[in-house]
Amino acid sequence: MIPMQQTPIKHIKKCLDNDLAILIFYQSPIAMLILGEDATILNANLAFFEMTGYEEIELLGKHISYFKSNQNKNSFYVTSYWDSMQASYSKSMEVYVQCKNNTHILLCNKNNTIMDRGTPYVILTFENITEQKRMLKHYQHLAMHDSLTGLANRVLLENTFKMAKNRALKSDQKMALIICDINEFKQYNDRYGHDFGDSVLRTVSKTLKNLLRINDMVARYGGDEFVLIFEDITHRDEIAYIESKIKSAFPLVITQGEQSCQINMSIGSSCFPDEGNTFNDLIQVADKNMYKEKKDFYALR
């Protein structure tokens, strides 16, 4: 066992015998708990009760796992706190807590272990960072996704390609990269307005997303261009089947108010590693194949 930090608790006890010290502990704006050696809750202050909704009679004497959240690992409340009691230094962790009303909040939890005559105690302080984490995830999502369609943007697309490429190399499989471009989108946008154009993009995005398997992805690559990545391709012929599946979902009839139109797509594909090793190489091949199909589409108009 790692030696404990020898901080005499008798001085703390003397302070807590003082009415002012007790008042400071209970009225502190920082939520705090004191745990015994077996991780039972010996004391808590008002800030903690207000944060979690529990009352004193519900917590004191209970094991720390009393308010465990299923959003943590199952062993968290056993191993993490026990490990902190064995350490000779302060620890800081993020932990979910289930409140009395069954909501789950994310807390930044700082642990400080002290000793009194060979008996360890853990003093925990908590900061509610639920909203802070939610906002961080929101901004991270915005940085990696298209704001109109909610699909991945170019940054996330290229990052996903790199990871998919590594998986394909390790498994000795192929990967398909497919470009889909909306035919006559500029004409629809100019004729019916940007709101209608946005509706078209959202509908097409949803349609393409519904065609994906779990490990596949679709990204908005440009104004009216979408790029799809399909992993776990064994034979080149499978890509033709994927293309036919996408084509079967179009044309789409999109109606907004009195405005209605048929949306067609031109599609081009490329295969890793047969037709390229980098993202740019594969995009160029797929783009070239897509424009061949688009040329045929306009030739028939």
19 vs 139, more confident: 139
pLDDT band at 10 (very low <50, low <70, confident <90, very high): very low
The amino acid at 286: A
Question: How does strand 265-272 pair with strand 174-182?
Answer: antiparallel
Q: Say what percent of the chain tops pLDDT 90.
A: 47
Residue 247: pLDDT over 80: yes
Rounded to an integer, what distance in angstroms lies between the CA atom of residue 30 and that of residue 106?
15
pLDDT band at 255 (very low <50, low <70, confident <90, very high): confident
Rounded to an integer, what distance in angstroms lies between the CA atom of residue 160 and that of residue 153?
11
How is domain 10-133 classified at the CATH fold level?
Beta-Lactamase (3.30.450)
Confidence (pLDDT) at 141: 85
Confidence (pLDDT) at 86: 55
Query: Thinking of the domain 145-299, which architecture would CATH place it in?
Result: 2-Layer Sandwich (3.30)
Domain boundaries defined on the chain: 10-133, 145-299
| Residue 133 near residue 106 (C-beta atoms within 8 A) | yes
139 vs 74, more confident: 139
Residue 12: pLDDT over 60: no
296 vs 244, more confident: 244
Q: pLDDT tens digit string along 39-73?
A: 888 889 999 999 999 998 888 888 888 877 777 76
Confidence (pLDDT) at 16: 52
How far, CA to CA in Å, does 95 sit from each of 112, 113, 151, 284?
Answer: 16, 18, 30, 47
Q: pLDDT tens digit string along 122-176?
A: 888 899 999 998 898 888 888 899 999 999 999 999 999 999 999 999 999 999 9
Tokens of 279: 């993202």
77 vs 258, more confident: 258
